[in-house]
Chain A
Amino acid sequence: MAIKQNSTQVEENTIHTQDQDIEELQKIQTEGIKPTTEAYQKAIRELTHANIRLRHLDKAKDEFISIASHELRNPMAIIKGNINMVLAGDDGPVNDEVKDVLTDVMVAVERQIRLVNELLDVSRIEAGVINFNLSPQIHLDQTAQLLAASLRSVAQNIDLKVNNLQNPLPTVQADHDKVSQVLINLVTNAMKFTDRGSITIETKQKGDYVITCVIDTGRGIPKDEQEHLFKKFSKVSSPSPGTISAGSGLGLYISKKYIEKMGGDIWLEKSEPGIGSNFCFSLPISGSKMAKEVAEEISSLQPIKDLHFKS
């Protein structure tokens, strides 16, 4: 029902926007620069048309992903919510066997939710329709502290700490949610491969960038697997079968795309089997040349707005 409704709206938008194309084009022709020759004028007209059409295509792709997200996530939210209510005893006492089964279902649903979220992120990346809410006020040391505090309860037997090497640390320009997602990805990856010892989030300044590293004392990554880490669906082999199957192999790929879009880089600094791994990413300091370029680039690439859900 909802899908049908929305797809009709997308079609209506397409029809609606064709009129807009012509209007927009006429506006550009009357108000814009006066071309010197007829061929030049024709070229501008064609390019303008192509540009407008491409932007509308982006819009359509964006809308498709939005509808897909909604339809995929709603059932999972209903499963998760209902199991949570049963486990909480809302419908009466639950015996241990049922509790055990429902807990497994819950873990599977959470895994599914994470996978769908990652697949949707990848679709957005590949369709070129990711929105970035850039802020110049990102304190990476504070972001790291908050994250470490929230993950400490699940990081059993591991000393999870934050080490800021530069005080005060300059703020960077980034999208807060996306930076958190990248950092969570690096820390939870480290947790999967670290049985004991420590995971340290280290922050420092280097030139116009703040570098954040996640250093673990885990089992490290074999040399031959290191070069594929940031590729789609790449998974590091598991020491005992079945233990690390929960990842999708998309986390580092998504992280790389996000960090690059925000003007930084992400890399494996060092990894030695038996000793541990060190993953780092950089982000431009607010107000730096790179930060300004990124802000300009992102504002010019945002999909055109205000065509959503016209009725």
Chain B
Amino acid sequence: MNKVLLIEDDSLFVKMYQKKFAHEGIELEAAYDGSEGVQKAKEGKPSVIILDLMLPKMSGSEALKQIREDQEIKATPVLILTNLNTTSDEVNKCVELGVKETFLKTNVTPDQIVEAVKRYAQ
């Protein structure tokens, strides 16, 4: 597995996941806003992208749209990790663009996200 990219603006959240993935021996790179996320996805070609939706500069769905438009990384498996309700427009937009699974942040624990990442990593 290549590294995993986490696009998330809350540094405490990022720290928690970095610790969990390090414990599992998987490299986790972080991007703190939507445009940085797209850029790091293009440069790093991660095996899986974990995407928050309410982000500074560029929304999650816009970031996902740009990822899906890039020939080299468009097939990357994406997991949504959000606080928005699954019926919200933003989540629906992402589902239309193609995501593997949508998780509500308060409903999952880091080990469940690690499991999901392992499931979808090529």
Residues of A in contact with B (beta carbons under 8 Å apart):
1-2, 5-6, 66-67, 69-70, 72-74, 76-78, 80-82, 84-85, 88, 90, 113, 116-117, 130-133, 175, 177, 305-306, 308-309, 311
Contact = CB atoms under 8 A, between A and B. Distances in A.
A84 B110 contact: yes
18 contacts: A2-B10, A2-B54, A5-B57, A66-B84, A69-B85, A74-B105, A77-B106, A78-B13, A84-B109, A85-B16, A85-B19, A85-B109, A85-B110, A90-B23, A113-B106, A130-B87, A131-B89, A309-B90
A70 B84 contact: yes
B56 interface: yes
B12 A78 contact: yes
A177 B10 contact: no
A142 B19 CA distance: 39
Contact of A1 (B16, B19, B56, B84): B56
Nearest to A88: B111
A131 B59 CA distance: 20
Interface in B58-85: 58-59, 61-62, 83-85
Interface string B96-107: 000000001110
Contacts of B9: 1-2
Contacts of A69: 83-85
A67 B90 CA distance: 13
A90 B19 contact: yes
A77 B90 CA distance: 20
Nearest first, the 8 closest Cβ-Cβ pairs linking A and B are A309-B59, A77-B105, A131-B87, A73-B83, A84-B109, A70-B83, A113-B106, A5-B56
A77 B83 contact: yes
A133 B87 contact: yes
B122 interface: no
B89 A308 contact: yes
Contacts of B89: 131, 305-306, 308
Contact of A177 (B13, B23, B86, B105): B86
Nearest to A68: B83
Contacts of B111: 84-85, 88
A interface: dominant SS:
helix
Nearest to A309: B59
A131 B10 contact: no
B20 interface: yes
A130 B89 CA distance: 11
| Residue picked from B16, B54, B62, most chain A C-beta under 10 Å | B54
Contacts of B19: 85, 90
A82 B23 CA distance: 13
B87 to A, nearest CB: 4
Contacts of A66: 54, 84, 88, 90
Contacts of B20: 81, 85, 90
Given A74-B105, A85-B110, A177 B87 contact: yes
A6 B57 CA distance: 10
B28 to A, nearest CB: 14
Nearest to A306: B89
A76 B111 CA distance: 16
Contacts of A117: 106
Nearest to B56: A5
A6 B59 CA distance: 10
A131 B84 CA distance: 12
